[in-house]
Amino acid sequence: MTDTIDAEVRDELRATVRRWVQREVLPVASDLEHADEYPAAIVEDMKSMGLFGITIPEAHGGLGLDLLAYIAVVEELAAGWMSLSGIVNTHTIAASLLMRQGTDGQQARWLPRLASGELRGCLSLSESDAGSDTRNISCRAVRDGDEYVISGTKMWVTNGERAGIVALAARTDEGITCFIVEKEPGPAFEGITVSKDIPKLGYKGLETVEMVYDGHRVGADCVLGGDAGLGHGLGYILGALEVGRINIAARAVGVARAAFEAAIGYAQERRTMGKPISEHQAIQQKLADMGTKLQAARLLTEHAAVLKQSGERADVEAGMAKLFASEAAFEIATESLRIHGGVGYTTELPVERYYRDAPLMIIGEGTNEIQRLVIARGLLKRYAIS
């Protein structure tokens, strides 16, 4: 596909998703969110629009589009309800691990069912003592003939219960290895148990769970990348998390846009001291800062996506986009709530949801403190004086 055709397809997909969000998501998002209810009908629509296979090649049943198309869709979903972007995110990370490191057999086995959404994917790296400290994972996979026996407890598995495959980091004799674990969706399957549904401040309607593996067996053919992948799992996952961080940045842009648009609309309607509050300079200063941060966040996110798509290493740029966009979303959501005054603090408007959803982007896919370390290390390497 040429760049022009790509851009046309991207714009068309964004417009389709935006119209669908306005029609099908916005009217129900707050009710579903407050009830912490899984949006089953919405997810079916997402499947039929191909949103579970945006970046998966057409040969494997996906839309075969690039990361720019992906972030456009993520922004639209998050502007409607941030949780929807969470439903596709770790799924897309699992798919991108298979696309980059999977053997031909692994790609043929799992990518088509991931692309259609028949199989949902998730990523299971974190443990209670291994969040930022990824090298500290203790989940083990022990070789037994043609199989591995997996034991350990994983934390923070978003989509873990409904997933049909888990991209799982576990320790083997060679180091940390990534396994593709296929399972039945549900609370228990052959030694895998969902031991806790973690209650959250926001990001509701989809599950983030603790999962226990108690002697679960997988074939040796489930090692991502085959024997060559043994001991390389952490590197593979950290590479895929660059896509995850660009996703988080795009999500933050979506939430920030929704919060900004709510504020700039309300500011023109609400009147105090005989005029719309948008005519008070104090409010104009806020709107100017919010709009500027939103635009900067989007440009950084697009730049990181273009770089990653080109095959260049993008850890610094993905980190910068995630860092800036998530902090901007948090600030914009807070300012939007303030501009709404008392009504912003009620559950009658979605502003309070943006305010609860925004902090996740500061923490997820590596906290912003960790992003700063990654960015600084990368910059010091680039600017090394000897």
Whole-number minimum distance, CB 125 to ligand FAD, in Å?
4
Q: Is 365 a catalytic residue?
A: yes
- Which x/- pattern, by CB under 6 A, does the window 85-114 give for ligand FAD? -----x------------------------
Q: Which of 33, 161, 210, 365 is labelled catalytic? A: 365
Total number of residues binding ligand FAD (CB under 6 A)? 23
Q: Exactly one of 124, 278, 301, 336 binds ligand FAD (CB under 6 A); which one? A: 124
Between residues 290 and 362, which has the closer beta carbon with respect to ligand FAD?
A: 362
| Residue bearing tokens 């969706």 | 185
Tokens of 294: 């939103």
Q: Exactly one of 107, 158, 326, 336 binds ligand FAD (CB under 6 A); which one? A: 158
Q: Exactly one of 68, 73, 125, 137 binds ligand FAD (CB under 6 A); which one? A: 125
| 126: contact with ligand FAD by CB under 6 A | yes
Tokens of 270: 């609400």
Between residues 145 and 199, which has the closer beta carbon with respect to ligand FAD?
A: 199
Q: Exactly one of 132, 284, 285, 292 binds ligand FAD (CB under 6 A); which one? A: 132
Q: How far is CA 83 from CA 187, 276, 360, in A?
A: 21, 33, 11
Between residues 276 and 359, which has the closer beta carbon with respect to ligand FAD?
A: 359
Tokens of 212: 């226990």
What b/e string do you get for 61-94 counting C-beta neighbours within 10 Å, with b at 16 or more?
bbbbbbbbbbbbbbbbbbbbbbbbbbbbbbbbbb
Task: Identify residues 277-336 at the interface with ligand FAD (CB under 6 A).
Answer: none
Q: Which stretch binds ligand FAD (CB under 6 A): 113-121, 122-130, 211-219, 264-272?
A: 122-130
| 364: contact with ligand FAD by CB under 6 A | yes
Contacts 24+ apart (CB under 8 A), 15-18: 16/49, 17/49, 17/51, 17/72, 17/73, 17/76, 17/77, 18/76
Q: From 295, 288, 298, select the one nearest 263 (Cα to Cα).
A: 288
Task: Identify residues 191-220 at the interface with ligand FAD (CB under 6 A).
Answer: 200, 203, 208
Between residues 66 and 357, which has the closer beta carbon with respect to ligand FAD?
A: 357
| 363: contact with ligand FAD by CB under 6 A | yes
Tokens of 66: 């690039």
* Helices (H), ranges, 272-314: 281-309
Could you tell me which residues come within 8 angstroms of residue 108 by beta carbon, excluding any fewer than 6 positions away? Answer: 60
Q: How far is CA 213 from CA 182, 197, 290, in A?
A: 13, 16, 45
| 234: contact with ligand FAD by CB under 6 A | no
Q: Exactly one of 111, 360, 361, 375 binds ligand FAD (CB under 6 A); which one? A: 360
Whole-number minimum distance, CB 9 to ligand FAD, in Å?
29
Between residues 131 and 226, which has the closer beta carbon with respect to ligand FAD?
A: 131
d(Cα 211, Cα 161) in Å, to the nearest integer?
Answer: 9
Whole-number minimum distance, CB 106 to ligand FAD, in Å?
20
What b/e string do you get for 290-323 counting C-beta neighbours within 10 Å, with b at 16 or more?
beebbeebbebbbbbbbbbbeeeebbbbbbbbbb
Tokens of 269: 């309607």
- Cα-only R_g, the chain: 21
| 248: contact with ligand FAD by CB under 6 A | no
Which residues are marked as active site? 365
| Site for ligand FAD, rule CB under 6 A | 90, 123-126, 131-133, 156-158, 200, 203, 208, 360, 363-367, 369-370, 373
